Amino acid sequence: MKMTMTGKGRIGRLAAWIGTVGAALWLAGCAVTDVGRAPQMAPGDTVAVLPIVNYTETPQAGLRAEAITESLLKTGGIANLKRYPASLNPETLFEPAERESVGKALEWARGERARYALTGAVQEWRYKVGVDGEPAVGISLQLIDVASGQVVWSATGSDSGWSRASLSGTAQKLLRRLLAPLMQG
């Protein structure tokens, strides 16, 4: 017996397709990113991860962003990765990090002969207030040419997740999108 598609079948598939496209567009509206063009990095270039300054009311948000960033860069193919000494970041549970710590860490990176240094700032790191308690993250990153001190790449973005999503998972997805141009793998 030969089956033919009826008008109802085509309409149903069209409605499902429109629903899928609509959902994808709606979800894309939850995230905003602006990512610059990355410099051509040689496989042997050393990248120093500097402090990511915490401009939020959430304690240690910068340190959390640093840990995720370092892991993503390592798994993304950056083989020569160095992390600044913890003594150069004054962020504690109650005191926010200060911008001058980035300058001190950049001097450390020069002493380590790093080619690039990655730093940034966390603008938002929280669960939104309300019934759903959705995670919300906002981060800016900069890649600095250590020798000249010039910013050679930057990216910024924000994202929010569903009510059952974790804050660190939302941050990891955002940071992966922001760091994508730097990844080699």
Backbone angles phi, psi at 47, to 5 degrees: -115, 125
DSSP-based three-state secondary structure for 156: strand
pLDDT tens by residue, 124-183:
999 888 767 899 999 999 999 999 999 999 999 999 998 888 999 999 999 999 999 998
Task: Report the length, in residues, of the chain.
Answer: 185
- CA–CA separation, 140 vs 128, rounded Å? 20
- What is the model's pTM? 0.80
End-to-end CA distance of the chain: 51
- CA–CA separation, 31 vs 174, rounded Å? 8
Any idea which residue has 């911008």 for tokens?
99
Q: Tokens at residue 21, please?
A: 């496209």
Q: Which of 9-13, 61-65, 90-94 has the highest average model confidence (pLDDT)?
A: 61-65
DSSP-based three-state secondary structure for 94: coil
pLDDT tens by residue, 48-83:
999 999 999 999 999 999 999 999 999 999 989 999
Contact of 30 with 160, CB cutoff 8 Å: yes
- CA–CA separation, 171 vs 179, rounded Å? 12
